[in-house]
Chains A and B, each alone.
Chain A
Amino acid sequence: MQQRPGDVMTMLEGILLTIVTAATPLLFAAIGELVAERSGVLNLGVEGMMAVGAVCGFAAASTTGQPILGVLAAIIAGMLAASLFGIVALFFVANQNATGVALTLFGLGLSGLIGDSFVGTPGIPIPKVNIPVLSDLPVVGRLIFGEDPFVYLAVALALATWWFLFKTRGGLIIRAVGDNAHSAHALGFSVLKTRFLAVLFGGACAGLGGAYLSLVYTPQWTQAMTAGRGWIALALVVFASWLPGRLVVGAVLFGAVSILQLHAQAIGIGIPSQFLSMLPYIVTVVALVVISRNRALLSVNTPACLGRPFVADS
């Protein structure tokens, strides 16, 4: 693809495309954490699970030459990392915050170990979707019809999660377990099993988010390449007040601010770059404050048992 010199339409299209890709890894990781938190588990290990997913995805893809195997490996690796958290925090009732942070540190270290021999190797490019005519439409063409497959997957996942959580019995059980574990237990639902599955789903999604970074976003592996995106995903879940729709908005908003600040710099509008770099975080904090003011809405959506361990009294 030869770059046309920057006319306004091309620039606009470029900006929108970049925003969507910046939002995608965050959306993946956050949607998984949202489900885990809806079941009442706060897993602070998102960053670690992403790192493990990123490295396993990259390793599998470059060893086999099949990106799809990389994606699968990342999902499995994320789930394995999550199961570690699940076993320790749920079945051994260890402190969830401490276990989560430990998982992050462990994941970052482990990923460095696994990825040792893959540093400095370029990954295999994954082709973008290309539909004749539609993908060539001005501005929206590539935005709607010409993204990489992961972007569509992320949006579909967010939709499916919303449908599952609020329209199915399974989703109802997850929410019940997250809101009042003891009542759910009394009704005969297995709190720990439900939570464990939710945590596994969170791991799978975080793994996918990591794989997106190492396979698509920047097809390469280096230690700590997740660069804090797991933590952003955690913040986005609160930002979205545990609602998948808002999560999409939040991820795009965060992506937009972080991309637009780069454009503002390149245009040279003279705002200090340190301030611009802070902007995405400032916007997140301000949005959190605004959301927190609506207490009624917040209390409806906040999982009441979030972070509280469950031990069945028998």
Chain B
Amino acid sequence: MRKYVVALGAVALVAGMVSGAEAADKIKACFVYTGPHNDGGWSQQHDMARLEVEKHFAGKVETAYVENVPEGPDAERAIERFARSGCNVIFTTSFGFMDPTIKVAKKFPDVKFEHDAGYKTADNVSIYNMRWYEGRYVQGQIAAKMSKTGVAGYIVSFPIPEVVMGIDAFMLGAQSVNPDFKIKVVWVNTWFDPGKEADAAKALIDQGADIIVQHTDSPAAMQIAEERGLHAFGQSADMSKFGPKAHLASLVDNWTPYYIERVQAVLDGTWKSTDTWDGMKEGLVVLGPLTNMPDDVKALAEDSIAKIKAGELQVFKGPITKQDGSVGVADGAVADDKTLLGLNWYVKGIDDKLPQ
């Protein structure tokens, strides 16, 4: 540890001498990942954006990351170590890092913190996330067009608003094409267990689903769809390699625009605590590549993406009826962000019972 600090000091010194300017000209951006930096999904997408940051600011920004940090008290140590080691801005990239981030931020008022997927802010803590539901809606449209059985199988992790929002958006998209579309939902209660995700995909297919959607991290379900000659959607990263014939579209996380913007703000000294929830328009949520579908389906998907980007298409625009028949979103109204972030009901037409 001490060696590390000394080395850092040397780096700062050399950098200072070379540029001949103040230390503020060169900053350090640090990233905390919950999985391995190359997990092929969630953490990898964050790490790709980190590398883009390094490239974009060529020489002006140094980055560092720590991977496999368990959510909970251990995270606090990892974040604090970064704060002590001279990081100017620290990105903590998992929901479970929320409280540890807030705690450490209190101790280091001069360090900027950016927490992904949470809801607690402070003077030096910003939060940011993506409007994945925009992509889910388009996936639903594609699924309804492509499915022969009219049933999609949906593999999900935990019943949190983020996940429920995705299921609802997918169903709304599917219903916009085929009002009788059905989805079967399986909760695997984990974000990452390739074996279990594969089992879930097999179970859903054996029960008649011919399109697989997932809100878990591994490409296992895609491989099962490929093996069975069916179709599937990828999650977090482009998973087309795992299902050359099965892959329809991956919901890709592109954090680069946000990270560049935030690091620039730190460099400029204009960084302020913000609450960002961006989607397709800002280039964060990317649905692509669109593969293995006829031209008319592709055209429909591209049209919807364009409309969402232009703000013409609102996913959660009323009338939306809840599963129990009551009004979810009134006719003509659009659900506000607060409603979405606390979403705990299914739209009408979903057969599953939402775990509470």
Contacts and interface: CB of A to CB of B under 8 A. Distances in A.
Contacts of A96: none
Interface in B114-146: none
Secondary structure of the B side of the interface? loop
A266 B205 CA distance: 10
B149 interface: yes
28 contacts: A1-B229, A6-B206, A14-B206, A18-B203, A25-B195, A119-B36, A119-B38, A119-B44, A120-B40, A122-B223, A125-B227, A218-B198, A220-B40, A222-B36, A222-B39, A225-B194, A227-B196, A265-B185, A265-B186, A266-B184, A266-B204, A266-B207, A267-B207, A268-B185, A273-B187, A273-B189, A274-B355, A277-B187
Interface residues of B, number: 52
Nearest to A10: B206
Nearest to A260: B203
A218 B220 contact: yes
Nearest to B217: A222
Given A18-B206, A120-B38, A213-B194, 7 more contacts: A6-B149, A14-B206, A119-B36, A122-B241, A265-B187, A272-B355, A277-B187
B199 A262 contact: yes
A305 B158 CA distance: 43
Contacts of B36: 112, 119, 222-223
A3 B210 CA distance: 8
B65 interface: no
Contact of B241 (A14, A120, A222, A225): A120
Interface of A: 1-3, 5-6, 10-11, 14-15, 18, 22, 25, 112, 116, 119-122, 125, 213, 217-220, 222-225, 227, 229, 258-259, 262-263, 265-268, 270, 272-274, 277
Contacts of B220: 218, 220
B30 interface: no
A273 B210 CA distance: 22
Contacts of B81: none
Contacts of B185: 265-266, 268
Nearest to B351: A268
Contact of B195 (A121, A122, A229, A266): A229
B349 interface: no
Contact of B230 (A3, A121, A258, A268): A3
B202 interface: yes
B2 interface: no
B188 interface: yes
**6 smallest A-B Cβ distances: which pairs?**
A14-B206, A6-B208, A273-B187, A262-B203, A218-B194, A218-B220
B253 to A, nearest CB: 15
A204 B148 CA distance: 45
